[in-house]
Amino acid sequence: MQAILETVFDTLYLFIVLALGIAMLRQSKGRRQYLLFGVMAIVLGAGDAFHLIPRAVALNTEGLGSYVRALGAGKQITSITMTVFYVLLYHVWQARYHQKKTAPLTAAVYGLAAARVILSLMPQNQWLSPTPPLAWGIYRNIPFALMGLLIVALFYQSAKQQQDKPFAWLWLTIVISFACYLPVVLFADTHPLVGMLMIPKTCAYVWTVFIGYQALKGETV
């Protein structure tokens, strides 16, 4: 039952974010923020597919233990594509709120993103091992969490200052995603039920993408 429900849920998730991403690309018509949002959604879906597809195959065939290497490689790819996702989201903020003099912020975002990617590529992560070290899971997520916190602050402040109703809750979607993701990193290995937090985390990302698509449709109308 778990295999069927999880596979259906993940399939719907991938279909929705990729479909919305493609729709935004097609309908952006030169509007940079929506072009970026479309690319962002596709990066999100394509990156997660590297982990979710092997997981679906594993759950419906021989079990997760037989696909350790594929799942580990998928997690590593996802960790990198998620970093790209937030860099693109930062540029959405720049484009939507016409922010130009942001060199220090841009340096901070790219610096944190580079640190996250470098840490994710380090062999000490042991991505292909059935028991990767928790410490490196923490190390690589420190710059990731700081980048997320920075982007939360930027969207919250800008949306509030400019009374941007379509993006009023985008900051909250990021907060929810991190609030659900970080406990999984810390406790899922010892308390498997904590892994259920990936469901609201996934829903938060769908909400993020839907906010961009809904704003695009609102402007088109």
The pLDDT of residue 202 is above 80: yes
Q: What is the DSSP string of 143-184?
A: HHHHHHHHHHHHHHHHHHHTT-GGGTTHHHHHHHHHHHHHHH
Say how far apart CA 140 and CA 145 lie, in whole Å. 9
Tell me how many domains the chain contains: 1
Q: How high is the pLDDT of residue 221?
A: 59
Q: Which of 93, 187, 87 is nearest to 144 (CA)?
A: 87
CA 11 to centroid of chain Cα atoms? 16
CATH code, domain with 180: 1.20.1070.10
Cβ atoms within 10 Å of 33's Cβ, excluding its own = 22
Q: What is the pLDDT of residues 85-116, one digit of tens each?
A: 999 999 999 999 999 889 999 999 999 999 99
Q: Can you give the residue range of the structural domain that contains 71?
A: 2-220
The pTM (predicted TM-score) of the whole model is 0.95
Confidence of residue 64 (pLDDT cuts 50, 70, 90): confident
